[in-house]
Amino acid sequence: MRQTPGAHGRRTAAVVTLALALTATLHQPAGAEPRTLPQVRAELDRLYHQAEVATEKYNALDGKVARQRKRLGTLRGQVASAERRLSRLTGLAGAAARSQYRGGGVPAEVQFALADDPERALDSASLARQAQLATNRVIKALAVTEEELRTRGDEAADELERLRENRASLGSHRRTIRARIDAARRVESRLEDEQRRELAALERETADEAQAEWVRSGVLDSAGTTKGSTAGRAAVAFATRELGKPYVWGAEGPDSYDCSGLTSQAWQAAGVAIPRTSQEQWRLLRRVPVTRMRPGDLIIYNADASHVSLYIGDGRMIHAPRPGRQVTVAPAGSMEILGVVRPDA
């Protein structure tokens, strides 16, 4: 891109200022070389990418913690039920033992029944045998319940320990996310207005070049003719209504979203439940060739599947980009595409 001498001077000054800002912010050595605007953009991309990777790990673990809380509640309920059953069976076993001691194996209420209506009662030997069998069943049930109580108690204790460990990991991911976002924001806060405009222009230029190269590859020649399914169109309609809402890591609506929060909620609105994170969406949903993608499909980005968008047709997608940005429409090929998945295959 051609520049006037004045513009070149301003660009040089901007680079020097940015270099000093990055040196202070990122703890570079005193003799570090000044950074160019492309290098500044690369550094910001790196920080935000690390934040996004940590966000998706946080989202996955957050879902796991929620499931563990539910299971722990179920186990505690089972423990309480087993304790009540154990108490009842203990009482029955004690009553049976006392009855055998007093009546030679025949409960007092049975003896009363015999005396009251002897014609309908069984003989004493048969009743004694039945009483003994009943007592044995009570004792057996008591042993089974005691074992169940121990098992459920151990499972609850193990689940609680795993829950505590995962909560600690959540805190670690949360700190990583905030550290990366804060570092990127410190870099951005030192940019002057002209530098911000130049950086934004560089981002657009890079995205446009990537999109143009993607289109030239012919990938849209057949994809452009494929219509979305009814559910896919509903997912696109949902995402379109969310345009302009801010990116917030870990958010899944209704006021803000991260990348996979938006895609999972869009498909939830279409009546299809899909995994929460971009990695799980890539791992579990059916993969389709990029040349056959249709509106509503999810485009997975980066080698680590750390970003996801919703394809809306005509080479465009809707996504929640990163902190400081809003849900927006962007060129689908403006980032490194890993692949495409279809939630309603």
Q: Residue 35's closest CA among 18, 11, 47?
A: 18
Mean pLDDT computed over every residue of the chain: 76
Pair 255, 300 in one domain: yes
pLDDT band per the 50, 70, 90 thresholds, residue 134: low
Q: Which residue has the higher pLDDT, 108 or 310?
A: 310
Instruction: Catalytic residue, from 8, 27, 173, 259: name it.
Output: 259
* Residues of the chain above pLDDT 70, percent: 67
pLDDT mean over 27-44 = 57
Cis peptide bond prior to 295, omega within 30° of 0:
no
Q: What is the pLDDT of residue 11?
A: 40
* Domain housing 294: 221-342
Pair 164, 227 in one domain: no
Instruction: Catalytic residue, from 8, 27, 49, 319: name it.
Output: 319
The answer to whether residue 319 is catalytic is: yes
Q: Count of domains in the chain?
A: 2
> 157-174 pLDDT, tens per residue?
776 676 677 667 777 777
Establish if 1 belongs to a structural domain: no
pLDDT mean over 282-291 = 94
Pair 150, 230 in one domain: no
> 245-274 pLDDT, tens per residue?
999 988 999 999 999 999 999 999 999 999
Q: Quick check: pTM over 0.85?
A: no
Domain finish residue from 170, 185, 200: 185
B/e letters for 251-279, b = 16+ CB within 10 Å, e = fewer, are bbbeebbbbbbbbbbbbbbbebebbbbbb
Residue 191 has pLDDT above 80, yes or no: no
pLDDT band per the 50, 70, 90 thresholds, residue 151: confident
Pair 173, 108 in one domain: yes
Q: Which residue has the higher pLDDT, 294 or 120?
A: 294
CB proximity list for 210: less than 8 A, separation 6 or greater: 331, 333, 334, 335
Q: What is the pLDDT of residue 60?
A: 77
pLDDT mean over 324-340 = 93
Establish if 266 belongs to a structural domain: yes
Q: Which of 51-65, 67-81, 175-189, 289-303 has the lowest mean pLDDT?
A: 67-81
Establish if 329 belongs to a structural domain: yes
The answer to whether residue 8 is catalytic is: no
Instruction: Catalytic residue, from 27, 49, 173, 307: name it.
Output: 307
Establish if 169 belongs to a structural domain: yes
